[in-house]
Amino acid sequence: MLITSLFTQTLNPAITFYAFAALKQALIPAKNREHPSAIQTFLCGAFASSLASLATYPLILAKVSPKLLPLP
């Protein structure tokens, strides 16, 4: 159980960090990439966080679901 908890707790930030870097590279023009505007940073961060949550939610749900089921 500890491995599963550590896996899900570290996977979401890792995906967020990677997705943010990839989105920044793909969507922000090269001349603004070093110092993007606040709105560009916010939108890339929000979309990256959404992608990470979309990817990890099924894992978190699978971890929690057995605890919610009543014992026979």
- How far lies 11's CA from each of 3, 29, 30, 37, 48, in Å? 12, 28, 29, 27, 13
The pLDDT tens digits of the residues spanning 25-37 come to: 999 999 988 999 9
Q: What is this structure's pTM?
A: 0.78
Q: What pLDDT does 38 receive?
A: 95
The pLDDT tens digits of the residues spanning 36-72 come to: 999 999 999 999 999 999 998 888 887 777 777 676 6
The pLDDT tens digits of the residues spanning 7-16 come to: 667 888 999 9
CA–CA dist 72, 61 (Å, integer): 21
Domain boundaries, the chain: 13-27+36-66
CA–CA dist 37, 33 (Å, integer): 9
Are the C-beta atoms of 27 and 44 separated by less than 8 Å?
A: yes
